[in-house]
């Protein structure tokens, strides 16, 4: 199993700040 | 017609774009564009010109009640003064870390503080397991506890080079330099186009006023 635990964390939507820049 | 120029009223915690541009990777016009975005975010629920946690979550997820471990931690890290709200200066300084041109050391440090959930100065195995489990819980990835343990164990043996049961800043730096993809979330390409996304209407309207 080559999955890195921190790579899994980076899938989190909470870590994706691009939502801040989307038109609401 | 007669145009009366009103003195622009800024939000609480407003700082001059020239000052913020000098301290961050942003240019003055990028800081001005960020101010347009900031005003929008900080007035989305309460109109006090400060970003509250609910407004931050609303912006990230379009849902003010959705809780997320990382959104909580990121908000806390943006809230540099630890007073429960993010003002304009804090917003720009924190986003500066996510700029493509920000020093990698700043990104490494921010990520370390993000993962140091209990703020002990170390990333602990329990914290890593908690983060992975929380994320799996909210995603559609279904992994058994045994598999999660195996993944955490493998990462841990790779990262905890001193073998003392915790990851310190030095070990963290070595680890992310070995696996640079771990920092990909620390760079927001959007920040390079921020002036296109949020043109400063204030400046352009002042130019028109002068011409009139």
* Terminal Cα distance for chain A, rounded: 40
Cβ(B100)–Cβ(B192) below 8 Å: yes
Which residues of chain B neighbour A4 with C-beta distances below 8 Å? 151, 154-155, 158, 179, 182
* Tokens at B180, concatenated: 């640079």
Q: Do residue B138 and residue A11 have CB atoms under 8 angstroms apart?
A: no
What letter would DSSP give residue A22? S
Among candidates B68, B113, B76, which has minimal Cα distance to A19? Answer: B68
Looking at residue B200, its pLDDT comes to 60
Alpha-carbon distance B19 to B97, whole Å?
16
Alpha-carbon distance B169 to B186, whole Å?
17
Q: Do residue B59 and residue A1 have CB atoms under 8 angstroms apart?
A: no
* Tokens at B86, concatenated: 């993010």
Looking at residue B206, its pLDDT comes to 41
Looking at residue B13, its pLDDT comes to 82
Looking at residue B208, its pLDDT comes to 43
Looking at residue B1, its pLDDT comes to 53
> Touching check for B138 and chain A: CB below 8 Å?
yes
> Touching check for B7 and chain A: CB below 8 Å?
no
Looking at residue B76, its pLDDT comes to 95
Which site among A1, A3, A6, A7 would you substitute to test the B interface, given the most B Cβ atoms closer than 10 Å to its Cβ? A6
> Which string of DSSP letters, residue by residue, matches chain B?
--PPPPPPPPPTT---HHHHHHHSS--HHHHHHHHHHHHHHHTSSS-SSSEEHHHHHHHHHS-TT---HHHHHHHHHH-TT-SSEE-HHHHHHHHHHTSTTS-HHHHHHHHHHHH-TT-SSSEEHHHHHHHHHHHHHHSS----HHHHHHHHHHHHHHH-TT-SSEE-HHHHHHHHHHSGGGGGGG--GGGGGHHHHS--HHHHHHHHHHH-
What letter would DSSP give residue A9? H
Q: Do residue A17 and residue B98 have CB atoms under 8 angstroms apart?
A: yes
- Compute the mean pLDDT over every residue in chain A, rounded to the nearest whole number: 78
Cβ(B197)–Cβ(B190) below 8 Å: yes
Can you say whether residue B115 is alpha, beta or left, with left for phi > 0 and alpha for psi between -120 and 50 degrees?
alpha
Looking at residue B68, its pLDDT comes to 80
Find residues 40-99 of chain B whose CB sits inside 8 Å of chain A.
40-41, 44, 59-62, 68-72, 74, 95, 98
From first to last of its 212 residues, chain B has per-residue pLDDT tens of 555 555 567 888 899 999 999 999 999 999 999 999 999 999 999 999 999 999 999 888 877 777 788 888 999 999 999 999 999 999 999 999 999 999 999 999 999 999 999 999 999 999 999 999 888 887 777 888 999 999 999 999 999 999 999 999 999 999 999 999 899 889 998 888 788 777 665 454 444 444 43
Alpha-carbon distance B11 to B21, whole Å?
18
Residue A2 has pLDDT above 80, yes or no: no
Looking at residue B3, its pLDDT comes to 58
Looking at residue B37, its pLDDT comes to 93
* Tokens at B208, concatenated: 């028109």
Looking at residue B5, its pLDDT comes to 57
């Amino acid at each position: 199993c080559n999955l890195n635990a921190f790579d899994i964390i980076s899938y989190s939507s909470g870590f994706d700040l691009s939502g801040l820049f989307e038109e609401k | 017609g007669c145009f009366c120029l009103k003195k622009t009223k800024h939000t609480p915690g407003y700082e001059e774009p020239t000052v913020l541009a000098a301290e961050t990777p942003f240019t003055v016009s990028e800081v001005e564009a960020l101010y347009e975005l900031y005003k929008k975010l900080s007035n989305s629920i309460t109109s006090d010109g400060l970003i509250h946690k609910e407004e931050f979550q609303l912006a990230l997820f379009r849902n003010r009640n959705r809780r997320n471990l990382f959104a909580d931690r990121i908000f806390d890290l943006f809230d540099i003064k630890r007073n429960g709200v993010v003002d304009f200066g804090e917003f720009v300084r924190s986003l500066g870390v996510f700029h493509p041109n920000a020093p990698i050391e700043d990104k490494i440090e921010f990520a370390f503080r993000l993962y140091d959930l209990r703020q002990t100065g170390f990333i602990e195995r329990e914290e890593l397991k908690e983060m992975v489990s929380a994320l799996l819980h909210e995603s559609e990835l279904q992994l058994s506890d045994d598999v999660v343990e195996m993944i955490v164990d493998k990462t841990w043996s790779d990262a905890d080079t001193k073998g003392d049961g915790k990851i310190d800043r030095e070990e963290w730096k070595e680890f992310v330099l070995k696996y640079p993809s771990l920092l990909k979330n620390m760079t927001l390409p959007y920040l390079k186009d921020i002036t296109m996304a949020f043109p400063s209407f204030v400046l352009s309207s002042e130019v028109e006023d002068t011409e009139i």
